[in-house]
Amino acid sequence: MDMMRIEFVMAMGLLLGCAAVLGACGPAKADDARQAELKKRLTPLQYEVTQLGGTERPFQNEYWNQHEAGVYVDIVSGEALFSSQDKFDSGTGWPSFTRPIAEGALGTHDDRTLGVSRAEVRSRKGGSHLGHVFEDGPPPTGLRYCINSAALRFVPAKELEKQGLGHLRERFEKKAAAPKTETAILAGGCFWGMEDLLRKIPGVVNTEVGYIGGKLANPRYEDLKKAGLGHAEAVRIVFDPARLSYEELLGYFFRMHDPTTPNRQGNDVGAQYRSVVFYTTEAQKQTAEATKRKTDASGKWKRPVVTEIVSAAEFTLAEDHHQDYLEKHPGGYTCHFLRD
């Protein structure tokens, strides 16, 4: 009797064990089949990034410098992840966004593969590895979603309906309907570094560098070295006041250069490098004066703020090779950076 019980128990154990093995093998085979299908459908880099948590090279990927209006979807599942309206140039060489396209579109996980804690970002439905999120982004979220292009597929706004994303089309139609812009002109030293920082601010639509505030009608770069002419290197900024106020723009301006050094920024010395706000409206003048007083009283600068606030004169575009100089020459000279 005891032997029968032992054999029964052993038999039941074998059956349960087999069932457990079969149960485990089922999903494993299904997962193997899925991975095989993904290897056929994706490029080797797309598979490495989304399935193995890889990272593509900065500045050598498809979307890092793309500015077209549209939606970025998961290359695996097709679910909408990010909007071009929340994309900004972080200078890292990877596509960067301030937020996902909708709450709940992403999941985050603690990633310690490099020995430090990082917030890994995955798509909610597809489970694809996308990149990481950092707390060093611009307003209004203060977040920077650093994403691999290889994990994304871009859908232009005009094709959203055709690709089953028609419910997202309205947000781009509203934006395209006569956007209101405002123009600001700021001088704070060498315009290469100024423009490089200004063009990355969310809400800035366009930037151009040029010359303003002097005696010549059409000054050239060499003219700025001549004493007594009074021209300043400046950046003309077109911005969307619905996304970036003039006061917020000036907040960046007073952080990216030293407004306490007359006719100088870093190693650059001369009147062309002076700190000036060239206002284009009376409202801009009042905002500039208030922001200057606030900056002076903040205690962040040991010397008085000497930024001039004057009415904008004629702005002359600088030569082509000066436009977007640091974008054309990464690692080129600049003495500008955003201070805390």
C-alpha 325/C-alpha 266 separation (Å) is 18
**β-pairing, 70-74 with 232-239?**
unpaired
Question: 2, exposed or middle or buried, with CB in 10 Å at 0-12, 13-18, 19+?
Answer: exposed
Burial 111-137 (b: 16+ CB within 10 A, else e): eeeeeeebebbbbbebebbbbbbbeeb
Q: Would you call 307 helix, strand, or coil by DSSP?
A: coil
**SS3 of 208, please?**
strand
Kindly give, in sequence order, each residue whose CB lies less than 8 Å from that of residue 48, ignoring residues fewer than 6 positions away. 54, 150
Q: Which residues are marked as active site?
A: 146, 190
